[in-house]
């Protein structure tokens, strides 16, 4: 009886999930299907709640965050993008391995999409997982005004869970009338931690609660879409298991200190079993910044437990088709990230609007001379040196790399990532196969750092 009920509920959930996915996804991967239209435009959203005026934002399709773009692994994404913003823009699909011409980097891979213009993004999706999309032009302002959305690629055989949900974490710098403070690109932010906001939203709203059912198993996809804020989420009273980083499966494990740390642009997929007591609330606390801990929201339990999948064996995701770097004949390079306040700032930095350097040079142009040229197919080990007193989430386009070591110590999971968070003064070794031809951005994803020198191009030819 119970198990039959359990099954039919799960079937219902699966169907509901399927419908949700169908509503978001274009008509499959058929080459004949019309592309999905995605329009960026100004809008107003009540992000702080009804007690405050709504906020003027920039949005995809009028929603904050943008619509969830959802596909199946192996399908083809086709998005006809229309720019109805006051400024030129591009769309970058973060973390997805795609052809260079579809990477959405102005000057480097495509001309800016002018106001009123369209651009069709079209590429295959080789990897399953949790990804996201955002502008790559004027990004401190454009992302800071609200332009970001999740891109989900479902596995051929997704793990069985009771619910699959996305939390897009964003932070905003708002005044008392809930208006965006438009001091984008100021040197103070740029030369320190970046634009850290004063209001954190989950899926576009400040939230008190997230409703859960005792006994259910949740797959929670976390996306950090913030300009600069780093999160360390502590699910009080719960033991989340990480099953993927930046979209790619990892051996399921409890995160260090039971806190899920996400630098800007990073993602984590969690299995979260709702083992709390019916009718109770459990806070999810973000305590990354010392003395600035706050409650993100409460998990609010329904009164009646149901038979769910909590406590079942942990799912193992099938690996994505990534080429493993051959370390024995990899070429090795060192890349040093420098600058910032309290460090060695480049001379006359603030006058030139630069604050950060890559290998000693502040680079601010997307189409700068490459700092590295790598033969196609080569295995590469990069030693990343954070020679500053600030953390930096370093992102490589077009590829996914393994994190081999931190400060000379082998990592436990050799996890695949597209963005690695370097702590102040930390060194990390990453390795990948340079199998995707073109010029690829390699930059800090604190958007204010990127814009003031901490970016570079790596060319694969």
> What residues numbered 432-461 form the site for ligand C2O, per CB under 6 A?
441, 443, 445
Query: Nearest distance from residue 132's CB to ligand C2O, in Å?
Result: 7
CA distance 194 to 449: 7
The answer to whether 145 contacts ligand C2O (rule: CB under 6 A) is no
The answer to whether 259 contacts ligand C2O (rule: CB under 6 A) is no
Query: Nearest distance from residue 395's CB to ligand C2O, in Å?
Result: 5
Name which of Cu ion, ligand C2O, none residue 444 binds, using a CB cut-off of 5 to 8 Å depending on partner kind.
Answer: Cu ion
Query: Nearest distance from residue 446's CB to Cu ion, in Å?
Result: 4
Toward Cu ion, which CB reaches closer, 227 or 379?
227
Per the rule left: phi > 0, alpha: psi between -120 and 50, beta: everything else, 310 is beta
User: Measuring CA to CA, how many Å separate 316 from each of 319, 335, 415?
Assistant: 9, 34, 14
User: Measuring CA to CA, how many Å separate 391 from each of 153, 254, 339, 403, 426?
Assistant: 29, 23, 12, 16, 9
List the end-to-end C-alpha distance of the chain, in Å, as a whole number. 62
The answer to whether 399 contacts ligand C2O (rule: CB under 6 A) is no
Stretch of 47-55, 166-174, 392-400, 428-436 lying at the interface with Cu ion (CB under 5 A) = 392-400
Query: Nearest distance from residue 171's CB to ligand C2O, in Å?
Result: 16
Query: Nearest distance from residue 93's CB to ligand C2O, in Å?
Result: 9
Toward ligand C2O, which CB reaches closer, 103 or 189?
103
Query: Nearest distance from residue 348's CB to Cu ion, in Å?
Result: 20
Name which of ligand C2O, Cu ion, none residue 94 binds, using a CB cut-off of 5 to 8 Å depending on partner kind.
Answer: ligand C2O
Task: Tell me, by CB under 6 A, how many residues bind ligand C2O.
Answer: 10
Toward Cu ion, which CB reaches closer, 195 or 399?
195
Toward Cu ion, which CB reaches closer, 252 or 264?
264
The answer to whether 384 contacts Cu ion (rule: CB under 5 A) is no
The answer to whether 274 contacts ligand C2O (rule: CB under 6 A) is no
Query: Nearest distance from residue 306's CB to ligand C2O, in Å?
Result: 38
CA distance 188 to 140: 14
Name which of ligand C2O, Cu ion, none residue 238 binds, using a CB cut-off of 5 to 8 Å depending on partner kind.
Answer: none
Name which position in 94, 163, 259, 392 contacts Cu ion (CB under 5 A).
392
Name which of ligand C2O, Cu ion, none residue 265 binds, using a CB cut-off of 5 to 8 Å depending on partner kind.
Answer: ligand C2O
Length of the chain: 461
CA distance 279 to 304: 8
Name which of ligand C2O, Cu ion, none residue 92 binds, using a CB cut-off of 5 to 8 Å depending on partner kind.
Answer: ligand C2O
The answer to whether 192 contacts Cu ion (rule: CB under 5 A) is no
> What residues numbered 231-250 form the site for ligand C2O, per CB under 6 A?
none
The answer to whether 267 contacts ligand C2O (rule: CB under 6 A) is no
Residue 241 and residue 264 in contact, taking contact as beta carbons nearer than 8 Å = no
The answer to whether 397 contacts ligand C2O (rule: CB under 6 A) is yes
Name which of ligand C2O, Cu ion, none residue 441 binds, using a CB cut-off of 5 to 8 Å depending on partner kind.
Answer: ligand C2O
Name which position in 70, 136, 259, 402 contacts ligand C2O (CB under 6 A).
136
Closest residue to ligand C2O, based on beta-carbon distance: 94
Number of Cβ within 10 Å of residue 232's Cβ equals 17
Toward Cu ion, which CB reaches closer, 392 or 402?
392
> What residues numbered 89-128 form the site for ligand C2O, per CB under 6 A?
92, 94
Name which of ligand C2O, Cu ion, none residue 449 binds, using a CB cut-off of 5 to 8 Å depending on partner kind.
Answer: Cu ion
Name which of Cu ion, ligand C2O, none residue 397 binds, using a CB cut-off of 5 to 8 Å depending on partner kind.
Answer: ligand C2O
The answer to whether 395 contacts ligand C2O (rule: CB under 6 A) is yes
> What residues numbered 409-448 form the site for Cu ion, per CB under 5 A?
444, 446
Radius of gyration, alpha carbons of the chain: 21
The residues that touch ligand C2O, with contacts defined as CB under 6 A, are 92, 94, 134, 136, 265, 395, 397, 441, 443, 445
The residues that touch Cu ion, with contacts defined as CB under 5 A, are 392, 444, 446, 449
């Amino acid at each position: 009886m119970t198990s039959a009920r359990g099954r039919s509920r799960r079937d219902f959930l699966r169907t509901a999930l399927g419908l949700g996915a169908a509503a978001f996804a274009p008509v499959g991967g058929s080459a004949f299907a019309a592309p999905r239209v995605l329009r960026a435009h100004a809008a107003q959203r009540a992000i702080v709640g009804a007690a405050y005026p709504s906020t003027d934002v920039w949005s995809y399709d009028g929603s904050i965050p943008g619509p969830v773009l959802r596909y199946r692994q192996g399908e083809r994404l086709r998005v006809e993008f229309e720019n109805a913003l006051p400024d030129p823009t591009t769309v970058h699909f973060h973390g997805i391995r795609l052809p260079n011409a579809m990477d959405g980097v102005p000057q480097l891979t495509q001309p800016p999409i002018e106001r009123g213009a369209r651009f069709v993004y079209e590429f295959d999706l080789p990897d399953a997982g949790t990804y996201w999309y955002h502008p790559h032009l004027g990004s401190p302002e454009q992302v800071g005004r609200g332009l970001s959305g999740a891109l989900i690629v479902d596995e051929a055989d997704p793990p069985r869970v009771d619910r699959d949900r996305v939390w897009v974490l964003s932070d905003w710098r708002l005044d008392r009338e809930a208006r965006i403070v438009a001091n984008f690109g100021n040197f103070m932010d740029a030369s320190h931690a970046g634009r850290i906001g004063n209001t954190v939203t989950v899926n576009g709203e400040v939230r008190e609660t997230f409703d859960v059912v005792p006994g259910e198993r949740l797959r929670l996809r976390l996306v950090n879409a913030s300009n600069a804020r780093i999160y360390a989420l502590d699910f009080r009273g719960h033991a989340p298991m990480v099953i993927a980083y930046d979209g790619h499966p990892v051996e399921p494990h409890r995160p260090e200190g039971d806190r899920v740390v996400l630098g800007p642009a990073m993602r984590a997929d969690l299995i979260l079993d709702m083992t709390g007591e019916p009718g109770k609330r459990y806070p999810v606390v973000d305590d990354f910044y010392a003395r600035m801990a706050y409650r993100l929201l409460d998990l609010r339990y329904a009164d009646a437990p149901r038979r769910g999948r909590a406590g079942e064996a942990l799912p193992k995701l099938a690996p994505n088709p990534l080429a493993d770097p051959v370390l024995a004949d990899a070429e090795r390079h060192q890349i040093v990230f420098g600058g910032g306040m309290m460090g060695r700032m480049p001379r006359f930095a603030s006058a030139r609007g630069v604050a950060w350097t890559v290998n000693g040079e502040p680079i601010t142009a997307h189409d700068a001379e490459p700092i590295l040229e790598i033969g196609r197919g080569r295995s590469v080990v990069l030693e990343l040196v954070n020679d500053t007193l600030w953390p930096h989430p370093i992102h490589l386009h077009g590829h996914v790399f393994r994190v081999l070591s931190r400060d000379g110590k082998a990592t436990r999971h050799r996890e695949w990532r597209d963005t690695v968070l370097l702590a102040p003064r930390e060194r990390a070794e990453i390795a990948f196969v340079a199998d995707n031809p073109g010029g690829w951005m390699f930059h800090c994803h604190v958007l204010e750092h990127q814009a003031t020198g901490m970016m570079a191009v790596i060319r694969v030819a």
